[in-house]
Amino acid sequence: MKRREFLKQCSLAAGSVLALGSKGLAGGVELANNSMIFRIGGKRYNVLLILVDQWRYSAMSHGYHHDKTVRTPHLDKLAKKGAHWQWCYAAQPVCTPNRSAIITGKYPHQIPTDNDPAKSMDHNDRLMSRNERCIAHEFTDAGYNCHYIGKWHMDGGGKGFPAGFVEPGWPRRGFTTFEGFNRGHNYWYHNSYMITDDGQDMKTLGLYPDNTYEPTFQTDLAIQFIKQNKNHPFFCMLSWGPPHTPYGAHPDEFTYDPAAIEVRPNVPADQVSNAKNSLNDYYAHCTAMDVEVGKLMDMLKTEGLADNTLIVFTADHGDMHRSHSLTYKSKPEEEASHIPLLMCLPDRIEPGQVITNSVNTIDIMPTVLSLCGLNVPDTCTGKDKSLLLLGKTMPEESIYAEYQSAWRMVVKNQFKLIIRNVSGAESITELFDLNNDPYELTNLLNNPAYALIQSELTAEYAAWKTKTNDTFLG
């Protein structure tokens, strides 16, 4: 476009502000009509959102009360280059519900299913309503190329090939291209579920290299997509299946020695052996994927994209590994509900921050959109916490978490209140001081010294129920 024509287009776009509306965008102005989005002076940040399955907060070699054995040097580096959220919780520590929360900014009980509006996305294998406004819709509407790679688990019960193909259109929730599958955990070539954007089996086409760990293959797809879009703003969501079971399906070179693993103090003595054996393989998955994080960081630097690409690393839930005699997910205990959240954007985020304000996965969508200067839809229940990333202060607010009709949880100022379904009735069962008791070994419920805190969190619980129209046992 010649300079005179360009200036004419600028003049036409600017003259449309009063009629069409405008909004700020990362230092610029966005002018919009139904067919175009035009920005003057705004810097558009790329986004790489890495979502892992069943990775608990403590399974990193940095952070508050982290597990002592696991090694994650690249995630440690990412935290130093950006921000480490010390108290991030899953809205619901189960795959489908929390993935739905991340991409909508809403609690699972607030999100109806598509085939039965009376049900919500608070169970696995449900299909989200087609009317939900999702994070990729905002990025696509802003002119980004939006691509999804890996496990989805929000398209109902479809599994394997071809049932796991996520059809183009509304089922992709704003993502324009898709390389992955709906659900399943098979981490090697011989049983891969990976499907192309147009619904073909990648393994059959010869696109999936033999003897390749699934996260490695998916990382290579992400690198390919990013390189192809290095001159155009992109939003890439990369979803790895591990460290979810099968624990043992990791590359052999990352195997730990079970005898050397130090378990958490809340693992009963008679279950230490079982915990060490499962953590041996769980940590191997974590370290293997940490290597993939390093590859992505190196690629962004090599391609000149590191300073203007927001990297987000988080999980849909954690894993108990015999803490409190429990296994897997869906629990309010720290090992299942407390998850990692790292964010790095050198051009905007103050490096080396440890953010102690509580944050929930429903806050990820509004925070990411705000950091990128995009619209935060009023459908979001979550809060924009981006000021904290910019070195500013915000008041501490409680976070709320849920699991079907089993329990609710409130966390504020590192105190946790748990409300459980006991014989069909709400019952406040536990109060923990996470600062002084990170392993939840001392229940402070009805302790006179904590009466005020218990009363405050109980009131917060009631307020959350009302605010979010939560009918828990009601």
Name the CA radius of gyration of the chain, rounded.
22
Residue 32 has pLDDT above 50, yes or no: no
Q: Residues 196-211: what's their mean pLDDT?
A: 96
Q: Which bin fits 330, alpha (ψ -120 to 50), beta or left (φ > 0)?
A: left
Q: Are 96 and 459 in contact (CB under 8 A)?
A: no
Asked whether the predicted pLDDT for residue 97 surpasses 90, the reply is yes
Q: What domains, with CATH codes, occur in the chain?
A: 3-40 (no CATH), 46-396 (3.40.720.10), 405-467 (3.30.1120.10)
- φ, ψ of residue 364 in degrees (nearest 5): -65, -50
| φ, ψ (nearest 5 deg) of residue 260 | -90, -5
32 has which bridge partners? Answer: 37
Instruction: Give the phi and the psi of residue 172 in degrees, each rounded to 5.
Output: -90, 0
Q: Is residue 3 scored above 80 in pLDDT? A: no
Q: What is the percent of the chain where pLDDT is above 70?
A: 91
> pLDDT for 133-149, tens place per residue?
999 999 999 999 999 99
Mean pLDDT estimate for the chain:
92
pLDDT at 12: 39
Place 55 in a pLDDT band, splitting at 50, 70 and 90.
Answer: very high
**In whole angstroms, what is the distance from residue 295 CA to residue 413 CA?**
36
Checking if the pLDDT of 33 tops 60, the result is no
* 319 close to 333: Cβ distance less than 8 angstroms: no
**Mean pLDDT computed over 81-86:** 98
Give the pLDDT confidence of 212-262 residue by residue, as tens digits.
999 999 999 999 999 999 999 999 999 999 999 999 999 999 999 999 999
**Identity of residue 205:** L
The values of phi and psi at residue 365, to 5°, are -60, -55
Q: What pLDDT, on a 0 to 100 scale, did the predictor assign at position 125?
A: 97
Kindly state the average pLDDT of the residues 377-390. Answer: 98
What confidence score (pLDDT) does residue 42 get?
61
> For residue 316, is pLDDT > 60?
yes
Q: At residue 56, what are phi and psi to the nearest 5 degrees? A: -80, 155
